[in-house]
Each structure stands twice: as C-alpha cells, then as structure tokens.
C-alpha cells in the first residue's frame, strides 16, 4: 500500500523544495509551457532574500545550493566575487515533468477505465536504481498492488517518464488497459492506496489554503509555499477514478483552491521577481 503521510501538506517546506519551486517559476513562468528564453543565472543573494522570508536561514540556503550543485541539479557560475546558479538540463526536465500536472486544469482526472500497469523487478545489486524508480513512480501516481507490480490511473507514458533512468527503463514491462472480470477495480484501489489518508491530505491542504486571504506584499514567497504544498498533494493523490471515492471526495475543492490562489498571486509574484532581479544583479557582488 502506498502510504503518504497527512503531515506532509502544511509542514514547513525544506529549502531544497523551495529552491526548485523558485527556479520553476523563474525559468518556466506561472504555468509550464514554453520555456523562457535563456534567463540569466540567479545570484545567491536573490535566493537568500526570498528564502529568508520563508524562515530559511542563510546557512541552510547556502548548504542546499552546494548540495544541489553536487547532485547535478544546479550549475554554479562565478561572476567576480559573486556566485549565481541555474538549473541543469536534468533539473529542467524534472521541473517540466512535474509542472505538466501541477498546472493542469484537471490534475485528478483521467480517461475513464484506463490504467497503466508496470512490472518492475529490480535486483538487490541495483538498490540505487530501485530508489530512483520508486520515487519516480510515486510522483507519477503509481501504487503497489503486489511486490514489483504497480498500477496508476490513466495512460502514463512510461518511456517518457523514465527516459533519464535507462537502468530502470530496461527492467520495466508496461501495459495500458482496462480491468476485466474477475478483477475488482474498487478493491485494487483500496489495496494500492490508503484512501482515508488521501482524504485527510486533501483536507489538510484545504484547511491551510481554502479560506486564506494572502497579502499582496508576500505574493512571491506565498506562491512558492503554495506550489510546495500543491506538489505534495499531487504526489499523494494520483487522481483515482471518482466512482471509487464517494460523492464528497475533496479533490475538486482542492483544485479550485489552488487555481484561485495561483491566479491571484501569479501576476504579483512576477512583478516581485522582476524587482528582485533588478535589485540583485550579479554585478553587485556577493561571496
């Protein structure tokens, strides 16, 4: 059973997630579509300024940036005494992949009756491959029904999903189809996902954001928080068929809440982002 803790939504976001959220906004804009043309690297002071407004210390931000460079997520540029950062191609693909669903108008809906089934046995000697594969499949909405067998609602492009994990891709067998008797889809859903935890995760998101009036002056940091919470919710709920979830399933309310705040905060956050770029030009210098 896939177990996503309700505490994930609403807990303090880590600097790693917030840095990725910031670069997603900076590189792709408020909705992932056409990539912005060659944005300049982001000065360290600009990142320190934004994350400090979210309670992240300078030392934690600097340590996170160093780790992300070592993990090939960021590239560091030296500009005199200053440092600046930009996403690697690997990180761009990661952000682009996640953004497709994040900004979908119907992130919890799939073609009726279509499922993706994976068989992916990974030998013990490839534990690192197993770790990356499981993380990627969980993000894409897969749940485990038997050892090494995963299912997800909808028609998932598995080759595209795993194209940068060639060792994992070579081990996977994937199928698209519909359940047939004697299979009981409602039972598979209950086995692969903890529905009460998913419901509680939605309710935690709504409790934090549904009635919130967000200050315009804090549009950029609050938008990053919103994106982080929304991403956690999407990782928990793959968009299971409504027929198996009950009439009061809260996914539609969550989607409406996210899109309302996205529409309200987005233009203000864009202006604050441009102002930060002007204020933290690389030539100002920062060690």
Q: Supply the pLDDT for residue 103.
A: 86
Once rounded to an integer, what is the mean pLDDT over residues 96-104?
Answer: 80
Q: Tell me if 230 sits within 8 A of 103, measured CB to CB.
A: no
Q: Tell me if 147 sits within 8 A of 161, measured CB to CB.
A: no
Measured in whole angstroms, how far is the alpha carbon of residue 147 from the centre of its chain? 26
Q: Tell me if 241 sits within 8 A of 73, measured CB to CB.
A: no
Once rounded to an integer, what is the mean pLDDT over residues 170-183?
Answer: 87
pLDDT above 90: residue 101: no
Q: Tell me if 76 sits within 8 A of 36, measured CB to CB.
A: no
pLDDT above 60: residue 6: no
Once rounded to an integer, what is the mean pLDDT over residues 198-220?
Answer: 90
* Ramachandran quadrant class, 262 (left: phi over 0; alpha: psi -120 to 50; beta: rest): alpha
Measured in whole angstroms, how far is the alpha carbon of residue 139 from the centre of its chain? 7
Task: Specify which residues 43 forms β-bridges with.
Answer: 84
Alpha helices for the chain (secondary structure H): 15-28, 44-52, 58-70, 89-102, 127-139, 158-161, 166-169, 185-192, 195-209, 219-236, 251-279
Q: Supply the pLDDT for residue 19.
A: 92
Is 67 or 81 the better-scoring residue by pLDDT?
67
| Percentage of residues in the chain having pLDDT higher than 70 | 89
What is the set of domains in the chain, with CATH numbers? 1-107+193-287 (1.10.10.10), 115-177 (3.30.70)
Once rounded to an integer, what is the mean pLDDT over residues 196-218?
Answer: 90
pLDDT confidence bin for 222, thresholds 50/70/90 = very high
pLDDT above 50: residue 225: yes
If you average pLDDT over every residue of the chain, what do you get? 84
pLDDT in tens, 21-63: 898 888 877 565 555 566 788 999 999 999 998 889 999 999 9
Q: Sheet harboring 173-177: ordered strands across?
A: 143-146, 149-153, 115-119, 173-177
Q: What is the pTM of this model?
A: 0.80
pLDDT confidence bin for 4, thresholds 50/70/90 = very low
Q: Supply the pLDDT for residue 2.
A: 46
How many CA within 13 A on the CB side of residue 151?
21
pLDDT above 70: residue 255: yes
pLDDT above 70: residue 254: yes
pLDDT confidence bin for 3, thresholds 50/70/90 = very low
Instruction: Select the highest-mean-pLDDT range: 85-94, 126-135, 139-148, 196-205.
Output: 196-205
Q: Which residue shows structure tokens 């994992």? A: 168
């Amino acid at each position: 059973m896939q177990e996503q803790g309700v505490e994930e939504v609403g807990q303090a976001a880590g600097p790693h997630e917030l840095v990725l959220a910031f670069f997603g906004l900076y590189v792709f804009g408020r909705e992932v579509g056409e990539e912005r043309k060659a944005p300049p690297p982001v000065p360290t002071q600009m990142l320190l300024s934004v994350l400090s407004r979210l309670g992240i210390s300078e030392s934690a931000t600097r340590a996170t940036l160093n780790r992300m460079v070592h993990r090939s997520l960021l590239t560091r540029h030296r500009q005199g005494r200053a440092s600046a950062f930009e996403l690697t191609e690997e990180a761009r693909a990661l952000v682009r992949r996640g953004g497709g669903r994040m900004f979908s108008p119907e992130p919890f809906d799939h073609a009726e009756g279509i499922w993706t089934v994976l068989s992916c046995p990974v030998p013990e000697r490839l534990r690192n491959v197993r770790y990356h594969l499981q993380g990627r499949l969980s993000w894409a909405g897969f749940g485990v029904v038997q050892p090494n067998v995963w299912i997800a609602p909808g028609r998932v492009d598995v080759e595209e999903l795993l194209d940068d994990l060639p060792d994992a891709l070579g081990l996977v067998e994937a199928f698209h189809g519909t359940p047939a008797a004697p299979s009981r889809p409602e039972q598979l859903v209950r086995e692969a996902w903890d529905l009460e935890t998913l419901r509680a995760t939605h309710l935690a998101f709504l409790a934090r954001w549904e009635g919130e009036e967000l200050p315009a002056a804090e549009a950029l940091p609050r938008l990053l928080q919103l994106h982080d919470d929304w991403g956690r919710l999407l990782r928990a709920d793959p968009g299971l068929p409504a027929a198996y979830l009950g009439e009061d399933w809260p996914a539609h309310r969550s989607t409406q809440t996210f899109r309302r705040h996205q529409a309200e905060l987005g233009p203000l956050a864009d202006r604050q982002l441009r102002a930060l770029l002007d204020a933290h030009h690389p030539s100002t210098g920062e060690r």
